[in-house]
Homo-oligomer: A and B are copies of this chain.
Amino acid sequence: MSEYVLRSARFQAAEVLNRVIQNGDTVVDATMGNGHDTVMLAKLVGENGHVYAFDVQEMAVASTRQKLEAEGLLERVTLLCTGHQNMKMHVPVSVRAVAFNLGWLPGGDKSITTLWETTFPAINAALDLLLPMGVCTVCVYPGHEAGEKERKALAEYLANLPPQRYNILRQTFINAGPGAPECFVIQRQGA
Contacts and interface: CB of A to CB of B under 8 A. Distances in A.
A161 interface: yes
A175 B168 contact: yes
A2 interface: yes
A89 interface: no
Contact of A175 (B135, B161, B173): B161
Given A4-B19, A16-B4, A174 B159 contact: yes
9 contacts: A2-B19, A2-B22, A2-B134, A3-B19, A6-B167, A6-B185, A161-B175, A169-B173, A171-B171
Contacts of A3: 19
A190 interface: no
A167 B159 CA distance: 25
Interface string A149-185: 0000001001111110011111111111100000011
10 tightest CB-CB pairs across the interface, nearest first? A4-B19, A6-B187, A6-B167, A159-B174, A4-B20, A170-B172, A170-B174, A168-B175, A2-B20, A161-B175
Nearest to A1: B133
Contact of A171 (B16, B161, B170): B170
